[in-house]
Each structure stands twice: as C-alpha cells, then as structure tokens.
C-alpha cells in the first residue's frame, strides 16, 4: 500500500519521458522479484505498434517506432525511468503445486498511469532468461507472440477484461522448439501481473509479512474501497471472487477457451491473462478442448467456471493467515465467500444470455430456454458465433430464420426452439428493430477464428505480415458487419479446421 502512495507523491512520473514510467512494484521488498535486464537481441524488427493503446497510456507511438523505441521494446536499451524486474510467483499447474515459477521469459519494465488515472504494467514477454527460467531459454517464438497479440486485442474489442498488446517485434534470432522458429517479443500491458500464484508464493513459504505486504499492495492498486471493510482481506477476497466469476461468464458467453487455467495464469485484477493454447469454439461443443497439453480435458470449455472457482479456493488458502486475523474463523469465512462464486457466475451468465437472446425482462425459464438452444446447437454442429449473430436478424423478423436454420444439421431442431423463443419474445415490450440493434452489439460477427490465427502465424513465419495486420484490423470492430471482410466471419472448411493448439513456449 505504502509503495503505491509514497511513490506517486514523492516522484511524480516524468511526463516528458517517451514512456512516462511511475513504478511501484519495484519498490516492494527484494523477495518479490529479481532485478534483471532484458537480454539483448541481434536484429530487432518492429512488426506492429498499437497506436490507440499507446495514446491511452500517454506513450508516444512515434518514439516506439523510432530506432530508440525499438531498442527499448527489444530489451536492447533500458528507457529512462524503467526499473526492470522479473516477478516471483508460484502456482498450481494442472492441479500440482509448484512453489516457484515466476517470470521465466518476461521482464516488467515498469508502470504507467493512463489519462484516466489507471495504472498499468508494461512487460516484455520473450526477453531472455531470469532467475525463474528453470530450464527454459527465456525466449518466445514469433507464433505464440502473434497469437497473443491477435487474441488479446480481439478480446479487448469484444469488451472482455484482458491484458493488452502494445507492440510486437522480431528479434532477428532463432529459437529452438520442435523446430527452429523465428523469435519474437511482445510488449504486454496489464492492470497488473498479480496472480493467485503470487500470493501462493509467499503463503507456501510461511512468509506472512510479505503476504500481507502483497495483499495491501493489491488492495491499494485494484480494490481500494475494501480498506474500509470490517475485514479488508476477506472483502478483498470477495471482490476477486466476484470479478473472476464475471470474467468466466464472459468467456462462456463468447465461446472462448483459455486452455491453461492454472493459478499462475489467474490474475486477481479479473483480466484474461497468459494466452497460450487458447482458442475460440467454431461448432459449439461444451466439452471442447484444443490444448495439446490438456490430455484429460481439465480446462475444457464447460469446465472453465469450475476451474476458476478451484483456483479461488487455492487463493483463499493462501490468504487464510490474513483473513479474520488468521484466527479460527478464517476457514469458515473463506468458505462462505467461495460459495458466492456460483451466484455471481449465474447472475452474470444469465444476464448475458438474456442480452444475447434479445430478452430485456427477467422471466422464469429464461436460463432453460438458453440451455435448450445450446444443447440443440451442440447436437447439430451449429457454429456458436454465427448462430447468435443470425438470431439478431431472426429476432426482428421471422424471415431471418432461414439463416439460422441453415446452421443446424437438422434445421427442424431450430424450428422447435424458435417457436418457444418467439412466445417468450411476445412478452417483451421493446420494438423489434431496437431489439435487433441491441443484440448486434453483444453477438459479434467476428471472433479470432483458429484457422485465421494459424494462417497469420504461418505467413508471419515465412516473412509475410499482411495476413496478421489485416486480421488485427478486422477484429478491432467485431460487432460491425464489415461486408468487405465477410470471409473472416466464416467457420473453417473441413481441411482448414484447427484441432489442436500448442503452448509453443
């Protein structure tokens, strides 16, 4: 807490600096990180700068594109005001606890405060080895870096809380994976990189003093209102439960599969973080798994809320020494708080489903109506995104049914459902055209389809970057029809279908 308050008053950010750093985490105790410089790279080549995000962060994008800026984004130079560190954290990976993970291929350059007063981390991912690298080379291949840029920016445009991507560059070096690949570095922006695993790191060491310092820091940075609660640490836990329940509802409403929902990939700010073998569903299947490392489907689409709730239970365990002053009541209080996850999730999910279906009133049976549609979509191989998009037209005029029916292997499966939906819509007062407009604003036309991402990566690996740029630009406006780019809305042809995704780290 004190680090945040002190730093901001004592040393105001240097507004004239090309990146106006205003760091707080680097002032935490030494146990929180390793001070480490990014490793130099041979021949950095900038591929893309996110101008709109730079503007929001009060970073001069002309600087980022200059040779000096590229030197900073590649880790070859340290910008004025940057105090680079690799953060320590632990984590449960697929259910097994690893007491030390940490930034093994990432370096936090520092923090900036945006025009609205909100603080963000600026991190390089793929910037070389740190104390936390274990056996890894600290590098990132271009493919995963491009995937993270595309998907994180698409998620932001879809309105889903997420880390962002400020820039991507080629290192001019090769990295060894299953094959030799071009190296890349992503500049990632996050509300913070504090993870459930960051708390587990200190809890596992029995280091209550630093655990408390971390919790105080996180509260001051993300949830300052909880300081006035009777038990601020319990109130902190409550708000994180609520934020992550809402986040997982958003994933379920958009067809997103994170792929690796380990506690170290669960950000307490409630943002989607660490895009690895993530994917969007094409044809709807609740048990869908893409990740090559998820052999047992632990992080399958439909398991995500439960996986997040499980991670929150681990978070509660880490916070126990702080909750109820570490007394006998701590477990009881934490259990009551975890139980609230389902309520938060169900409320957010049902509200989101109502909007997707054009329902303004809250009527008993709405959830069953939505679940019935999903079951029919699953049975009939209907595309998740296109079905909801086509429903927007059908909601205004039954002539639109033809388009939805065509997405179902057996169109009459839709007809049966549509009859009940229309009956339900008849209870609504909203004019049909307004309903359609509302639905179009929550049911996107464009999502980052896996086959499009793979094509962008394939081309980028071959030195052609247009595919990547165009995809990023289309996905910046997911709710607009963009007729010129209609092909981007299409599901893969059978031969284009991506069946598996890889971490590729």
Residue, CB closest to ligand AMP: 136
Binding span for ligand AMP by CB under 6 A among 1-9, 26-34, 135-143, 480-488: 135-143
CA distance between the termini of the chain: 34
Q: Is 248 in the site for Mg ion (CB under 5 A)?
A: no
DSSP 159-214: T--B-EEEEEEEEEEEEESSSEEEEEEEEEEES---BHHHHHHHHHTT-HHHHHHH
Distance CA 26, CA 37 (A): 13
- Look at the alpha carbons of 423, 424, 425, 426 in this order and tell me if their dihedral is positive or negative: positive
The b-or-e profile of 265-297 (16+ CB within 10 A means b, else e) is: bbbbbbbbbbbbbbbbbbbbbeebbbbebbeee
Residue 125 annotated as binding? yes
CA 467: distance to chain centroid? 23
Out of 44, 84, 104, 143, the residue judged to bind ligand AMP by CB under 6 A: 104
Site string for ligand AMP, 274-313 (x = CB under 6 A): x-x-------------------------------------
Which of ligand AMP, Mg ion, none is residue 105 near (CB under 5 to 8 Å by kind)?
ligand AMP
Which of Mg ion, ligand AMP, none is residue 137 near (CB under 5 to 8 Å by kind)?
ligand AMP
- Look at the alpha carbons of 173, 448, 160, 254 in this order and tell me if their dihedral is positive or negative: negative
Site string for ligand AMP, 219-238 (x = CB under 6 A): --------------------
- Which of 121, 264, 282, 294 is catalytic? The answer is 264
Q: Is 274 in the site for Mg ion (CB under 5 A)?
A: yes
Q: Is 265 in the site for Mg ion (CB under 5 A)?
A: yes
Q: Is 84 in the site for ligand AMP (CB under 6 A)?
A: no
Residue 481 annotated as binding? no
Distance CA 452, CA 467 (A): 9
Contact between 384 and 282 under an 8 Å Cβ cutoff? The reply is: yes
Residue 487 beta carbon to Mg ion: minimum distance, rounded to whole angstroms: 33
Which of Mg ion, ligand AMP, none is residue 104 near (CB under 5 to 8 Å by kind)?
ligand AMP
Which of ligand AMP, Mg ion, none is residue 101 near (CB under 5 to 8 Å by kind)?
ligand AMP
Task: Please confirm, yes or no, whether 366 is among the known catalytic residues.
Answer: no
Distance CA 224, CA 32 (A): 21
Residue 358 annotated as binding? no
Which residues are known catalytic residues?
Answer: 264
Q: Which residues bind Mg ion (CB under 5 A)?
A: 265, 274
């Amino acid at each position: 807490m004190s680090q945040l308050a002190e730093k901001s008053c004592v040393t105001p950010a240097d507004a004239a600096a090309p990146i106006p750093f205003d760091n707080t985490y680097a002032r935490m105790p030494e146990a929180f990180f390793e001070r480490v410089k990014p490793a130099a790279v041979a021949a950095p080549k900038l591929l893309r700068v996110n101008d709109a995000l730079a503007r929001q962060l009060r970073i001069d994008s002309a600087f980022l594109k200059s040779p000096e800026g590229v030197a900073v984004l590649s880790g070859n130079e340290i910008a004025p005001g940057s105090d680079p560190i690799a953060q320590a954290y632990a984590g449960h990976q697929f259910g097994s606890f690893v007491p030390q993970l940490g930034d093994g291929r990432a370096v936090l350059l520092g923090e900036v405060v945006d025009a609205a007063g909100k603080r963000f981390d600026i991190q390089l991912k793929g910037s070389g080895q740190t104390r936390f690298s274990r056996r890894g080379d600290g590098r990132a291949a271009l493919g995963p870096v491009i995937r993270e840029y595309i998907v994180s920016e698409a998620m932001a445009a879809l309105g889903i809380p997420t880390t962002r991507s400020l820039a991507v560059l080629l290192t001019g070096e090769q990295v060894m994976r299953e094959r030799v690949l071009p190296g890349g570095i992503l500049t990632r922006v996050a509300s913070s990189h504090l993870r459930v695993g960051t708390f587990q790191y200190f809890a596992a060491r029995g280091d209550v003093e630093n655990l408390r310092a971390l919790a105080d820091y996180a509260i001051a940075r993300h949830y300052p209102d909880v300081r006035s609660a009777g038990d601020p640490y319990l109130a902190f836990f409550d708000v994180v439960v609520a934020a992550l329940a809402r986040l997982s509802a958003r994933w379920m409403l958009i067809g997103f599969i994170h792929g690796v929902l380990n506690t170290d990939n669960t950000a307490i700010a409630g943002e989607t973080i660490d895009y690895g073998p993530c994917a969007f569903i094409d044809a709807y299947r609740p048990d869908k798994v893409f990740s090559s490392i998820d052999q047992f489907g632990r992080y399958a689409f439909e398991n995500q809320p439960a996986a997040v709730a499980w991670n929150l239970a681990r978070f509660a365990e880490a916070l126990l020494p702080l909750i109820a002053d570490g007394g006998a009541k701590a477990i009881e209080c934490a259990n009551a708080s975890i139980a609230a996850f389902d309520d938060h999730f169900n409320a957010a999910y049902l509200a989101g489903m109502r909007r997707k279906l054009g329902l303004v009133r809250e009527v008993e049976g709405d959830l069953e109506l939505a679940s019935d549609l999903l079951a029919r979509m699953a049975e009939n191989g209907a595309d998740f995104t296109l079905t909801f998009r086509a429903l927007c037209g059908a909601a205004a005029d039954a002539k639109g049914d033809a388009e939805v029916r065509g997405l179902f292997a057996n169109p009459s499966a839709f007809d049966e459902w549509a009859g009940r939906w229309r009956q339900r819509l008849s209870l609504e007062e909203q004019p049909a055209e307004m309903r359609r407009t509302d639905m179009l604003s929550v049911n996107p036309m464009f999502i980052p389809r896996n086959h499009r991402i793979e094509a962008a990566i394939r081309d980028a690996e071959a030195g052609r970057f247009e595919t990547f740029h165009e995809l990023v630009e289309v996905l910046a406006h997911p709710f607009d029809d963009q007729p010129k780019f209609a092909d981007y809305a299409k599901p893969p042809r059978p031969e284009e279908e991506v069946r598996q995704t890889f971490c590729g780290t």
